[in-house]
Amino acid sequence: MMIPRPYGLLAEFTHACPLRCPYCSNPLELAKRSEELPVAVWERVMAEAAELGVLQVGCSGGEPLLFRGLDSVIRRIRSEGMYSNLITSGIGLNRDRALQLAEAGLDAVQVSFQSDERETADEIAGTRAHEAKLAACEAVHDAKLTLGINVVLHRRNISRIREVIKLAERVGAMRLELANVQFAGWAWLNRMALLPSREQVIEADRIAEEESMRLKDRMQIVYVMPDFYGSRPKPCLHGWAQRGITVNPRGDVLPCQAAEAISELRFENVRDRSLREIWSESEAFNRFRGNDWMLEPCRSCPEREVDFGGCRCQAALLTGDARRADPVCALSPDRHLVDEILQSIQEESAAPAWTYRSASTSPSVTGAPPFENSCRR
C-alpha cells in the first residue's frame, strides 16, 4: 500500500482546561497531568513530524497554555520550518504571554468562543470565560499575531450564528471557523442536548452562505456542515491516515482526535517508536487506510473515492462496528439509527440537560452543574 505524506499534526499537550464545554471532543477518560509527555519528547516529535513532511502544527489540548514548556516546543516547531497555530480558550493569554509566544516563533492563534454574548457563552463554557476571551483577542493583536476564531455550533447557540459572525468581525479575526458539533468524546455523551433541529440547521446554512459572500476577502468563513441532516457522509479526514496525525497528552498517536471512540484500536506511543514508524506501520493507521477494509455498500460504491465511507468513529459509535458505512449515508443499512435520533430531537420541545466536561472518569448525568436550569431551553 502506498503510504501518503502527512500535512498536519495536532499536538494535544494536555487535557487540562479551565472550560467545561459539554461538546468537548476530548475523550471521557481525560489524561492526568502526571501522564503528560515531557517537553523533550515533544521536541523530538516535532523534528520527526517535519521530516515526515508535516507543514502545520496545531498546538491544542485541553488548554495548551497550561502546558509548561510550550514555548520551547513552539521554538522547535519554528526552527523545523513548520507553521504553528495555538488553539486556545484564550484563558491566560494576556499581552505579555502573547508577546512571549510570538517571540518563541508562534505564527497564529485561534481563540474559541462559545457564543456572541457573555451570559450564554459562559453558560456553555460552564465557567466565566467570555470577557477573558475578548481580552485575549486584544493581546493577540498587540503581539502582531494573526487571529482566528472557532465556534462550535449546537442546539444552544446555532441560532446566534449571525451575531457570532459579527463578533468575529468586531474582534478582528482573519478567519472564522463555524463547526457544527461532531459527535465524539463528551459531545457524543451529550448528543441529545446538542443536536440542533432541522429548522435551525437550514437557517444557519443559509446565513453562513449569505455572510460568507458579504465578508468575502475580508474574513474567511469556514462553515462545517452538520452531517446528520445530510444524505451523504463527509469525506472525514480525506480518508483515514491520509493527511493528519494527532498526538494526545499521553503520547499515543492517533489517526484522528476522536479515534479512541473505536475500542478495537490499539495506539502506539511516541515514547516507544518514532513518528515515522507509527505513521507507516502501526496497525491503527493501516486499519482503515485505502479501501480494502470496506464492507458493502461502500466497497462497490462509485463514491468511495469521494467520501471514503465517511467517519469511522461515527460508524463505531452508532453501529458498534467501525468498518460499516457511516450511518449518515442514505445508502447505509444503518441510516435508521440516525433518523431515530433526529426523530426524538424533533419530538422533544426542550433539549435534555447536558453533562459538563469534568475530570471525573464516570460522568454523572444527574449531577448538578452550576447552570442546571439555564442550560435547558
Partner 1 sequence: MKRAGDISMDAVASLKPHVRMRSDRITGRKILLYPEGAIELDDTGIAILDLCNGQRSLRDVVAELAEDYEVEPSVLTADVLRFFGELKSRGLLNLETGNQ
Q: Binders of partner 1 among 95-134, rule CB under 8 A?
A: 107-108, 110
Amino acid found at 221: I
Q: Which three cell numbers stand for residue 373?
A: 436550569
From residue 6, give the alpha-carbon distance in Å to each of 13, 37, 147, 163, 165.
Answer: 19, 22, 25, 36, 31
Which member of 146, 274, 280, 319 binds partner 1 (CB under 8 A)?
Answer: 146
Is residue 154 within 8 A of residue 195, CB to CB? The reply is yes
Judged by beta carbon, residue 237 or residue 318, the one nearer partner 1 is: 237
Q: What x-and-dash track marks residues 34-73 binding partner 1 by CB under 8 A?
A: ----------------xx-x-xx-----------------
Q: Which three cell numbers stand for residue 127?
A: 465557567
Shortest approach of partner 1 to residue 58 CB, angstroms? Answer: 8
For residues 31 and 16, what is the distance between their CA atoms, to the nearest angstrom?
Answer: 8
By CB under 8 A, tell whether 182 contacts partner 1: no
Shortest approach of partner 1 to residue 89 CB, angstroms? Answer: 17
Judged by beta carbon, residue 11 or residue 329, the one nearer partner 1 is: 11
Judged by beta carbon, residue 103 or residue 339, the one nearer partner 1 is: 103
Is residue 185 within 8 A of residue 140, CB to CB? The reply is no
Does the CA dihedral 262-344-368-370 come out positive or negative? positive
Q: In 10 A of CB 35, how many CB atoms?
A: 13
Shortest approach of partner 1 to residue 56 CB, angstroms? Answer: 7
Instruction: For residue 295, give the nearest of 247, 329, 260 by alpha carbon.
Output: 329
Give residue for cell 449546537. 154
Which member of 4, 7, 141, 235 binds partner 1 (CB under 8 A)?
Answer: 7
Q: What x-and-dash track marks residues 265-284 binding partner 1 by CB under 8 A?
A: --------------------
For residues 377 and 373, what is the distance between their CA atoms, to the nearest angstrom?
Answer: 9
Which member of 2, 34, 81, 349 binds partner 1 (CB under 8 A)?
Answer: 81
Q: What is the total residue count of the chain?
A: 377
Shortest approach of partner 1 to residue 112 CB, angstroms? Answer: 14
For residues 18 and 129, what is the distance between their CA atoms, to the nearest angstrom?
Answer: 9
Which member of 68, 214, 216, 266 binds partner 1 (CB under 8 A)?
Answer: 216
Which member of 174, 202, 295, 330 binds partner 1 (CB under 8 A)?
Answer: 174
What are the residues binding partner 1 (CB under 8 A)?
Answer: 5, 7, 50-51, 53, 55-56, 81-83, 85, 107-108, 110, 144-146, 148, 174-175, 216-217, 219-220, 222
